């Protein structure tokens, strides 16, 4: 699920380079997230705000659904 979420976030941002600009990181950093399917904890909220992909989808281990 996390892997699909980062790919959706990239698509919503307009591509890996566009998301990299939003996050102020290198395109390689975004590519690494896509390849691993893992979003660093410190980037989750920023990606959620920029793309609308929920924090739960990006990192359900940190942000589980509310009971």
The answer to whether residue 2 scores a pLDDT higher than 70 is: no
Phi, psi of 61 (to 5 degrees): -70, -25
Structure tokens at 35: 């390849």
Confidence of residue 66 (pLDDT cuts 50, 70, 90): confident
Q: What is the pTM of this model?
A: 0.89
Chain segment 20-59, per-residue pLDDT in tens: 999 999 999 999 999 999 999 999 999 999 999 999 999 9
Structure tokens at 34: 């896509």
Q: What is the C-alpha separation between 46 and 48, in angstroms, rounded? A: 5
Q: What is the C-alpha separation between 7 and 19, in angstroms, rounded? A: 11
Give all domains of the chain, ordered by start, each with its CATH number: 2-58 (1.10.260.40)
The answer to whether the beta carbons of residues 58 and 49 sit under 8 Å apart is: no
- Centroid of chain to Cα 23: 10
């Amino acid at each position: 699920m996390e892997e699909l979420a980062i790919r959706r976030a990239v698509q919503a941002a307009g591509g890996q380079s566009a998301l990299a600009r939003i996050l102020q990181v290198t395109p390689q950093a975004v590519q690494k997230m896509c390849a691993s399917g893992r979003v660093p904890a410190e980037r989750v909220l920023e990606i959620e705000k920029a793309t609308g992909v929920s924090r739960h989808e990006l990192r359900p281990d940190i942000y589980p659904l509310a009971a």
